[in-house]
Amino acid sequence: MVNKIELENRMIPYKILLEALENTYELVDFILLDDTIPSLRIGLKYLISTIEKHIEEAREGLPIVGHHFAFQAEYLECFDLVPVCVEGTSYILSALLPEGVEKYYDLMENWGHPFHTCSSQKGVMGMTLDDLFRFDAIITPTGPCDNTYASYPYFQYTEHIPTILPEMPFLHEEKSYHFYGQQIKEGLIKLGKIIGQEPDWDKMRKALEMDNKSLKPQLELFELKKAVPCPVENMFNAMSAAMSVFAAGKQEKIDYYNDMLEVAKFNYRQKKHHGGEEKIRSIWPYMLIFFDLTLCEWLDREIGMSVLFDIFNYNFTELVDTKSDLDTMFYGMAKKGMDFPMMRQSTDFYYSFIDDCVNLAKEYQADCFIFTVHIGCKQFGSVGQILREALRDEVGIPLLMVDLDVGDQRMTSMQVLRDKINMFSQTLL
Amino acid sequence: MNLDNDPFLKISESIENKYVQDWKNENKKVMGYYCTYIPEELFHAAGFLPFRIRATGHETDELADIYMVRFTCGFVRLTLDLALRGGYNFIDGLFITNCCDHARRMYELYDLTVFKKEEFKGRNHRFYVALPHVVTEGGFQWYKQEIIELKKEIEETYQLGNISDEALKNSIILHNENRRLLREIYSLRIIDKPKITGSEFLQISMANSSVPKEIANKELARILNLLKNSPGIEDTKKRILLMGSVVDNLSFIKTIEESGAHVISDFLCFGNRNIIDDVKIEGDLLENIANRTYYRMSCPRMMDDHERRFEYLKKEIKRAKIDGVVMQRINNCDLHGCENMLCEHEFKDLGISAFNFDREAFQTDTNRMQTRIEAFLEMIK
């Protein structure tokens, strides 16, 4: 008889994650007032529901498939499997575990992984090295960065996990979308052969339709952020990133955005800012940090700084056409994949990224930009100064750059980050 | 045979050289490029001198630091710094491919910084080719189309008319001959009594990428004759294979040699890895050029080709009677850093001595590096 515990132990970090989510939710629910940090409360609720289902699926013996965050989980809905987002898992655990996941980074670095690679992949690599994940297969597009090309071969050549690599071309052109669409399709067919399943395109179509539904409230929320004060709290950005990764194509994602939309509408009508008074409107063109989510609250309450967007939350994806033929659907999936946060900016020249930033700054009345230069993201390592110059010349606002590792508190500590932001804020007020 | 003062090798010690100046004096154009994933034959057939950008001897990156954060590659930072200071004022265009995240962003940075300078007015053309990251038939078809489009773009930009098949064929023959000569020289490096050192081979390779191939071939043939008639090096130094990030820094390879080793072989882009494969001269010539560039012996930017690279390394270690492997990476080079990690474990499993370390692009920390290399050499059985 199959031992169900053994089956769920193929993904121990998800069990740790579920416990961390439940504990955090309990704390939020017991300690905070009912209307405090609603995005955290709502997000945790839906994340718990999603992760619980995944663990149940693992217990039923479904194959465990690791995927890059840029290979959207809803694409994998054509199979019965348990999706594990490699980058998302490292960082959500980094955010929720009191000790972070530094010990897995260290484990991997002791094995020879360079210190300057991306911690989002290093975390799950370390967990795999420690036998906490037993993947049946892994799928990743060939993007967005050197770290993906460099780190994923570890799974393929050292852990001997079958790895599928749909080719994502550089440059946003029509031919790229057609090519990548075919690559997604072929990649899924290959994955099916590895896990012994036929892809069910209709099932995937339904998941895509679900994800399409979540776009409307998401875009409405973005519209509301134009209001002064911003009616959406900073924590929304972090939770929204988590929902996009873990609950793609699921009802939980739709519910999260709908619930948050209600909160935002209420705040908008009341002209209410989460921190009391909005003093500075900031855009984070790259990531928020993951190793300490209290930053969001600190910015709202102590500095009076709204984070209008981070890279995971200025969404330029379009609805996928699910009503036409299969190739049209794959074309839409490719377009969405290449426009996905971070992919859009990494698979194109800097020009469109700079244009996006300038336009957002104007449209959302931003007072400043804060650019977290993540050690892993070499593809963004040369844009800081030219973005700063563009913002200065075209909008007249400053940009603060902070070098750090968004998933490792040891490189630039929370205290250093706060000090820098504090001093920067004083120059703005 | 000591080639230290050979005029051809001396070219490697500077950036611009008299052959480039002669070329420019004839009103011919120079195309700068960063990575060896370049259809060099196509640019040559179009009348360009393809010049591989490097920063040999340049040891400051203050200007580049304005634009590139400290997590970026020191080699690329140095080249940008040099370009910002006028070191590459002689180029008439820049070819970039998505070889790595550091070098590919030079497309924008040259546009927004270097090419803004008055000296580049009318000479600031840039070409970009998207190279897939996996080796598949589908990927090749994509790349072939990119090369077809590139040819058209070059023809239109410089109003060249059609780059003829005859010109392509001549270029292919010239470049194949160039690689053949380099392979012959390389074969004299890996014999029991090597006739050329690793640092000399690096100098030849760098010089070769900085002059017209017509000149290079004559010079390589001359050097080959000199070497053939020279006595080999007789000593008992350890025989090393050097692999990893780009090396355009002679002091670095000399440090290894001065630590008591011969760098008998390498797996570097300024070195052996770039001369393994040739272009076929029958059939569709443009397709053949694309074929060689795409299917050639890869570097870690090709993410599914590690096994082929490692198989090649194993064979080369046997062929060149290598005692140990030195794996190095320039700090922040994720691609070679992770490849070295995989290889280190695989070498260990095979009982092959290997040493893996990181370094700056320019020579620094020499004593500590030398001590570590000496310790490694002593540990080799």
Average pLDDT taken over every residue of chain B: 96
Structure tokens at A133: 């994940």
Lowest mean pLDDT among A22-26, A170-174, B315-319, B360-364: B360-364
Chain A residues close to B338, C-beta within 8 Å: 113-114, 117, 150-151, 153-154
How far apart, in Å, are the Cα atoms of B181 and each of B175, B211, B214, B222, B299? Answer: 10, 15, 12, 10, 22
Token pair listed for A177: 């979308």
CB A356 within 8 A of CB A125: no
Interface size A-B, in CB pairs within 8 Å, comes to 148
Selection from B270, B344, B254, B269 nearest residue B301 by Cα:
B269
Subunit contact B134:A386, Cβ cutoff 8 A = no
**B67: contact with A, CB 8 A cutoff:** yes
Three-state SS at B202: helix
Spell out which residues of chain B touch residue A117, defining contact as CB-CB under 8 Å: 334, 337-338
Unique residue bearing structure tokens 């020279």: B230
Using DSSP, how many helices (H) and how many strands (E) does chain A show? 17, 8
Burial of A389 (0-12, 13-18, 19+ CB in 10 A): middle
Instruction: State the amino acid at position A307 in one-letter form.
Output: V
Is-contact B269 B35, C-beta < 8 A? yes
Which one, of A154, A163, A211, A156, lies nearest residue A191 by Cα?
Answer: A163
- The interface residues of chain A toward chain B in range 136-175, judged by CB-CB distance below 8 A, are 142-143, 145-154, 156-158, 163, 165, 167, 169-171, 175
Would you call B271 helix, strand, or coil by DSSP? coil
- In angstroms, the CA B39 to CA B30 distance is 15
User: Quick check: A245 pLDDT over 80?
Assistant: yes
Q: Which of residues 358-417 of A touch B (CB under 8 A)?
A: 373, 375-376, 378-379, 381-386, 401, 403
Q: Does B141 touch chain A (CB under 8 A)?
A: no
- Sort out which chain A residues have CB atoms less than 8 A from B334's CB and list them: 114, 116-118, 146-147, 149-151, 376, 378
Question: For residue A316, what pLDDT is reported?
Answer: 79
pLDDT, tens digit (0-9, with 9 covering 90-100), for A324-368: 999 999 999 999 999 999 999 999 999 999 999 999 999 999 999
Task: State pLDDT tens for residues A87-130.
Answer: 999 999 999 999 999 999 999 999 999 999 999 999 999 999 99
Decide if A312 touches B, using CB distance below 8 A. Answer: no
Q: Which two tokens mark B86?
A: 């006028």
Find the mean pLDDT for residues A226-238: 97
Q: Would you state the structure tokens that stand for residue B11, as one six-digit string?
A: 């070219």
Q: Is the pLDDT of residue A1 over 70?
A: no
CA dist list (Å): A214 to A35, A248, A252, A317: 23, 9, 9, 12
Q: Which tens digits make up the pLDDT trace of A38-79?
A: 999 999 999 999 999 999 999 999 999 999 999 999 999 999
Helix axes B165-187, B285-295, angle to 10 degrees: 30
Burial class (CB in 10 A: 0-12, 13-18, 19+), A429: exposed
- Candidates B76, B334, B349, partner chain A, best to mutate (most A CBs within 10 A): B334
d(CA B325, CA B152): 43
Starting at the edge strand found earlier in the chain, the sheet holding A137-139 runs: A82-85, A64-67, A137-139, A163-164
Q: From the centroid of its chain, how far is CA B143?
A: 21
Model confidence over B168-192: pLDDT tens digits? Answer: 999 999 999 999 999 999 999 999 9
Closest CA relative to residue A189, chosen from A152, A144, A139: A139
pLDDT digits (tens, 9 = 90+) for B62-104: 999 999 999 999 999 999 999 999 999 999 999 999 999 999 9
**Cβ–Cβ gap A113/B109 under 8 Å:** no
Q: Are B366 and A143 in contact (CB under 8 A)?
A: no
- For A2, residues 6+ apart whose C-beta sits below 8 A from its C-beta are A61
Nearest chain B CA: its distance from A164 CA (Å)? 9
Dihedral, CA of residue B304, residue B310, residue B315 and residue B321, to nearest 10: 160
Q: Which residues of B touch A175 (CB under 8 A)?
A: 145
CB contact (8 A) between residue B130 and residue A152: no
